[in-house]
């Protein structure tokens, strides 16, 4: 399900001209909604709990595969390049405007959380360290 804030005809976009939050028109399942979404990667990442390596892995795979994974859900607007990334920890989704933005976001996740490893190495290392042998 998508976070629906306002129907398109009711409110002008200028009412929500905050630098960190963007109103976007998105069509999903034949309904047009205005979505209040965060476009600042770091702001959104700071509002999501990624203290556990499983959550970092889930976020990465949700965005890269455009699917539900753990506490994250990524969906594409129909006929659109835009992606919305939802988290249980944050009321507003993250808006990724294109596949290029998605790739940049995934790189930031790896750079910020994966301790100089790619996502698979990071997950494998922490999974192995967690085992009780």
Q: Is residue 25 part of a domain?
A: yes
Pairing mode, if any, of strands 90-96 and 83-87? antiparallel
Say which residues have a Cβ less than 8 Å from residue 24's Cβ, sequence separation at least 6: 34, 35, 37, 82, 95
The answer to whether 102 and 63 are in contact (CB under 8 A) is yes
Identify which has the larger pLDDT, 97 or 2: 97
Per-residue pLDDT of 102-111, as tens digits, reads 999 999 999 9
- How many residues are given for the chain? 133
Q: Is residue 32 part of a domain?
A: yes
Q: What is the pLDDT of residue 10?
A: 39
Query: How many of the other CB atoms lie within 10 Å of CB of 129?
Result: 8
Counting the structural domains of the chain, the total is 1
CA distance 81 to 44: 20
Please check the confidence at residue 39 and state whether its pLDDT lies above 70.
yes
pTM of the model: 0.74
Provide the mean pLDDT of the chain. Answer: 80
Per-residue pLDDT of 47-82, as tens digits, reads 999 999 999 999 999 999 999 999 999 998 777 889
Element spanning 25, H or E? strand 21-28
Q: Is residue 1 part of a domain?
A: no
Residue 36: give the domain boundaries: 6-128
Q: Is residue 49 part of a domain?
A: yes
Q: What is the pLDDT of residue 24?
A: 52
pLDDT confidence bin for 131, thresholds 50/70/90: confident
Q: What is the pLDDT of residue 35?
A: 60
């Amino acid at each position: 399900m998508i976070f629906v804030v306002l129907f398109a005809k009711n409110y002008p976009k200028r009412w929500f001209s905050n630098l960190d939050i963007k109103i976007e028109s998105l069509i999903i399942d034949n309904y047009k909604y205005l979505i209040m979404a965060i476009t600042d990667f770091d702001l959104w990442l700071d509002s999501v709990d990624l203290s556990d390596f499983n959550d970092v892995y889930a976020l990465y795979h949700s965005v890269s595969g455009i699917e539900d994974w753990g506490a994250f859900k990524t969906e594409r607007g129909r006929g659109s390049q835009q992606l919305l990334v939802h988290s249980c920890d944050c009321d507003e989704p993250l808006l990724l405007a294109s596949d290029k933005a998605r790739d940049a976001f995934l790189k930031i996740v790896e750079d910020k959380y994966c301790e100089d490893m790619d996502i698979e190495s990071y997950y494998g290392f922490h999974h192995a360290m967690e085992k009780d042998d």
